[in-house]
Structure 1
């Protein structure tokens, strides 16, 4: 049985097509035409649509005209989940955070899990015991930090992450550009490592899962065993769809 997971983010649209539990194909930065072309080519039976940016209704309506089965519009507040959601305000919870939690709980069952999702924002979220989403933290992502320094000052330049994200990063910048890079990048790494250490102190044996567009930058810089799962949100969406249509 083929399924289609569509993740509409703040900066990009991403899809994944699954055959049973296997992720067959994924692509990001997609237009609506590209998504529908993929649907026509891959011929999934069911789909799930999640968004943190725009309403899902138009996307879902278009998919329903093309798919023979269920098209599920994922809502953090109302969609049944294979996970307990202990967030105090589920109607404000981003679909990507909850989908990532479902994916992590499925991949790392019966464990305490810290999910570090480094994208537009840097989210550190806790799944307790592999069965309960507790919530976590949200902070500006790397690109947002660079843009903020440029936008809210009179003379600081707009700086980007180095093309080689794994290259050594000097602690002491010897010009304004390298000083900004040190402050933003070294600061973000120290921040995330601090969260990991604090959660590890509370939850011995904690499993740390890393996802998001900037995961490749963080992976070599975070302390302890880190499980990089780039398609974590798509995997979680697929599991939510499977739970709801009993695939």
Structure 2
């Protein structure tokens, strides 16, 4: 029997199949369709379904799952093995909390700083005793490049340059690249230093579409030995939550 795990994000929808804690298959869609979901239903013996979504509009294919399964819609109020101290839990994104749950599930007994590189960059921290108090949200990598272009009259729209490794730009294009990418690098270092200043042992867990790029930005830092890359952390957190929910 398998678990069907769905993460509906701002940009992509990820669908995965888990057998216990092992992920058998994962697919990513710009906009999942009924046929995409049907391919999972026909090829796997699904017992449990969990869904997290950050969108307000309802996907048309959800009724298919609801007709066949007791679907768990994950949110920050679902008991999942983490003590949630967020002051407004109803406003905490399901994806952020699922990532925290995933971090604690994968690395129990450790202090875990979770950094999500998606549409926005999210910073969250769960301590070794499974306490979560909150985090931070800032504009993501692509959002910053787009904002520089959109809110100015003459600056071009650029994309990330993984080969850029300069302290400053020597023309307009590299000045933008420096501002965006060095800005994120310094932001990452600053948040990490602040979050883990009282932790003797910790992990820095990177997840999301820009996790590899963020790892590159931090590769020569003092934090490099503590970094773990978990691109499917949200999905793993959702799977851990549904297993906990049905215990």
Q: Structure 1: how far apart are the matches of 2:152 and 2:118?
A: 24
Count the aligned residue pairs.
240
Q: Which runs of 5+ in 2 are unaligned?
A: none
Corresponding residue of 1:117: 116
Q: Do the aligned partners of 2:112 and 2:203 also contact (CA within 8 Å) in 1?
A: yes
Corresponding residue of 1:34: 36
Deviations 1:130-163, CA, capped at 9 Å, x for gaps: 411111100000001011111111111111113x
Q: Structure 2: how far apart are the matches of 1:130 and 1:29?
A: 36
Q: Do the aligned partners of 2:75 and 2:97 also contact (CA within 8 Å) in 1?
A: no
Q: Structure 1: how far apart are the matches of 2:133 and 2:58?
A: 25
- What TM-score does the superposition give when structure 2 sets the normalisation length? 0.91
- Secondary structure, counterpart of 1:171 in structure 2: coil
Deviation larger for 220-229 or 184-193: 220-229
Corresponding residue of 1:217: 213
- Secondary structure, counterpart of 1:45 in structure 2: strand
Give the CA deviation at 1:243: 1.2
Corresponding residue of 1:148: 147
Q: Do the aligned partners of 1:46 and 1:70 also contact (CA within 8 Å) in 2?
A: yes
Q: Structure 2: how far apart are the matches of 1:86 and 1:192?
A: 24
Q: Structure 2: how far apart are the matches of 1:59 and 1:117?
A: 27
Q: Structure 1: how far apart are the matches of 2:105 and 2:92?
A: 20
Corresponding residue of 1:228: 229
Q: Structure 2: how far apart are the matches of 1:119 and 1:15?
A: 17
Q: Mark the CA change 1:130 to 1:5 in structure 2 (over 3 Å): closer, same or farther.
A: farther
Corresponding residue of 1:49: 51
RMSD over equivalenced CA pairs, Å: 1.6
Q: Do the aligned partners of 2:84 and 2:133 also contact (CA within 8 Å) in 1?
A: yes
Q: Which runs of 5+ in 1 are unaligned?
A: none
Give the CA deviation at 1:111: 1.4
- Secondary structure, counterpart of 2:7 in structure 1: strand
Q: Structure 2: how far apart are the matches of 1:57 and 1:86?
A: 31
Give the CA deviation at 1:40: 2.2
Give the CA deviation at 1:203: 1.7
